[in-house]
Amino acid sequence: MILKYYYTIKYLRKEQIFGRIYSIIKRKYFKQNIPDIPFKLETNEQSLTDYLFYDPTNRKEEILNGNFTFLNHCGQTGIPINWNINEFPLLWKFNLHYFNYGFLLNKSEFENICINWINENPLGKGTGWHSYPLSIRIVNWIKMKPENEVIKHSIYQQASFLYRNMEFYFPGNHYLENAKALYFAGKYFSGCGESDKWLSEAKRIFYKELPIQVLSDGGYFERSTMYHAIMLFGLLDMYNITLHDEEYCDFLKRNITKMLHFLNDLTHPNGEITLFNDSAEGIAPETKVLNEYANDLGFNNIEEKNIYTDSGYYVFKNKNIYFALDAGKIGPDYLPAHSHSDIFSYELSVNKKKIITDTGVFEYKHGIRRNYSRSASAHNTLCIDGIDQIECWGSFRVARRYKPENIKYECNADNFNFSGEYKGFARLIGDKIIHRRNILTKDNTISVRDSVSGKGNHLVKSYIHLHPDCSISADGNEYFISLDEVDVKISIKDCDHEIEETEYYPQFGIALTQSTIILTKTSIPAQIDYDILILK
């Protein structure tokens, strides 16, 4: 266990370690002093177009009765709302404090709930003052354009508190959400009190962080399609209120444009995102919705490039096939919180039907399902002796991690040829073990070739996870998969194989049963090959 801590901590930046300690001590032992709120607050509500709101699970009638649904779990908070109810997981309580559901209410109903929140959540006390939900709530309240002066004063107070409690020690999506909230508050209270400081700090953070967090190919650096969509949503919101600042508009526009390209390529033909790393449906707005919002803001030429070498994603499309491959590093070394052991994993759609899928994410709470969703066995790749490609532990930790090497690829309108190797097993297990994967698409066939070099008796398992809607039958070394009008055959070559029922998590809180084909070799060198043939 000591080595796990060592390999986890060695990659962290000093500000992550000491900043986190400082923030805990500051919140626990020191009084949070913020300047007085200006007596008269002028607000600016200008935007280029109507805001986009997103909450696919809650309903107005339920909210007014104190019933909320987050992460596909319905909870009763009581009336008036118990904002710091203890019986729900932290992420559920975060969602309660986000106020993503505010747009479902009329002006009076929304403002009444805001006033209730203000009365029940004194400055700096409780879940709602955690910097992440605080950031999201500030933006949601501003987007709702409240008329009540008490609410406006509270927004100012919340922004002032956030300004002094930024999550610089989480230099990823949390930090950008903090900065986005300061940007919104700075624009909203333009010229009042501290607002110019907030705006200046927000722009400083984005000028510094976006070139790091948005890779040159447009992918988000935490390598999660879901968080990519969330960050893109945030940038579109910021662009919506960035009037009369041509330089900053251009800066946002460049990043938004390449992020749109990436997201559209990493979205299946049925509109669902690829579930690489910590990704699930129902958290970020759908790609189609983000495209429409972007179009309203003037972004209307979305190109697709298929190959994203910085992010490590490779996409092949033809009239029948959508194939997306994850073959990059797991994420930034100092922030692998949302990383999975999924090197060389892939997803496949045929004629707009998802056939082979990632397992997805059920929850962030540490436990059996969290551990499983991050493991290699939950992805369409292989593990050896039950050892994953990287050492995931806890809810968000990674100890030893290695990246794929010798990546080669060719891609055109008709064919895709990929090869890469992973040497991490040689360090995690020993015996000079190296995994090489080659993928070739030709006509309507996808050929997957796994070779494992090294020595000794080692159990090699490769996984193919089928979408729950698929039906499957076996005939010797062949599996026949059907889904509506789609028929696919998987031919196994010279290895043991079986079907096992596993869990599939398309959204947080939802567990479905899917069929998983497991291919096995008991010694190395080992060769595990299979062909995926599209029959119709």
How high does pLDDT run on average in the chain?
A: 95
Say what the pLDDT of residue 27 is.
77
Domain assignment present for residue 226? The answer is no
Cα–Cα dist 186/147, whole Å: 18
Average pLDDT of 89-103? 97
When pLDDT is cut at 50, 70 and 90, the band that residue 48 belongs to is confident
Q: How many other CB atoms are found less than 10 A from the CB of residue 313?
A: 24
Query: Would the pLDDT of 77 be above 90?
Result: yes
Tokens representing 7? 């390999």
Helix, strand or coil for residue 471? Answer: strand
Cα–Cα dist 13/169, whole Å: 9
When pLDDT is cut at 50, 70 and 90, the band that residue 1 belongs to is confident
Domain assignment present for residue 499? The answer is yes
Domain assignment present for residue 386? The answer is yes
Query: Would the pLDDT of 126 be above 80?
Result: yes
Helix, strand or coil for residue 139? Answer: helix
Cα–Cα dist 339/182, whole Å: 28
Cα–Cα dist 48/57, whole Å: 28
Nearest alpha carbon to residue 344 among 270, 423, 281: 423
Range of the domain at 399: 313-534
Domain assignment present for residue 371? The answer is yes
Average pLDDT of 13-29? 83
Domain assignment present for residue 454? The answer is yes
Contacts of 481 (CB under 8 A, 6+ apart): 355, 466, 470, 471, 472, 487, 488, 489, 490
Nearest alpha carbon to residue 394 among 24, 6, 8, 3: 8
Say what the pLDDT of residue 305 is.
84
Tell me which amino acid residue 257 is. T
Say what the pLDDT of residue 370 is.
98
pLDDT digits over 285-328, tens only? 999 999 999 999 999 877 778 899 999 999 999 999 999 999 99
8 A C-beta contact, residue 278 and residue 224: yes
- Could you tell me the CATH number of the domain that includes residue 486? 2.70.98.70
Q: How many other CB atoms are found less than 10 A from the CB of residue 141?
A: 25
Say what the pLDDT of residue 25 is.
86
Say what the pLDDT of residue 16 is.
86
Tell me which amino acid residue 279 is. S
Cα–Cα dist 153/77, whole Å: 26
Q: How many other CB atoms are found less than 10 A from the CB of residue 42?
A: 12
Query: Would the pLDDT of 417 be above 90?
Result: yes
Nearest alpha carbon to residue 177 among 253, 284, 274: 284
Longest dimension (CA), the chain: 79
Least confident of 21-25, 28-32, 71-75: 28-32
Average pLDDT of 257-267? 97
Nearest alpha carbon to residue 534 among 454, 405, 461, 446: 446
Domain assignment present for residue 47? The answer is no
How does strand 392-393 pair with strand 471-475?
unpaired
Cα–Cα dist 266/286, whole Å: 12
Top pLDDT among 22 and 97 is at 97
Say what the pLDDT of residue 19 is.
84
Query: Would the pLDDT of 373 be above 90?
Result: yes
8 A C-beta contact, residue 506 and residue 281: yes
- Work out how many domains the chain is built from and give that number: 1
The DSSP string of 404-440 is -EEEEEEE-SS-EEEEEEE-HHHHHT-TT-EEEEEEE
In the chain, what percentage of residues exceed pLDDT 70? 100
Order the strands of the 445-453 sheet from edge to edge: 405-411, 416-422, 434-442, 445-453, 526-534, 486-493, 478-483, 471-475
The model carries a pTM of: 0.96
pLDDT digits over 202-244, tens only? 999 999 999 999 999 999 999 999 999 999 999 999 999 998 8
Cα–Cα dist 385/459, whole Å: 5
Domain assignment present for residue 356? The answer is yes
Cα–Cα dist 475/276, whole Å: 31
Domain assignment present for residue 285? The answer is no
Say what the pLDDT of residue 499 is.
98
Nearest alpha carbon to residue 58 among 81, 41, 40: 81
When pLDDT is cut at 50, 70 and 90, the band that residue 366 belongs to is very high
Between the alpha carbon of residue 394 and those of residues 14, 277, 364, the distances in Å are 21, 15, 10
- Residue 23, sorted as left (phi over 0), alpha (psi -120 to 50) or beta, turns out to be alpha
Average pLDDT of 333-338? 95
Cα–Cα dist 520/404, whole Å: 22
Please list the residues that pair with 244 across neighbouring strands: none
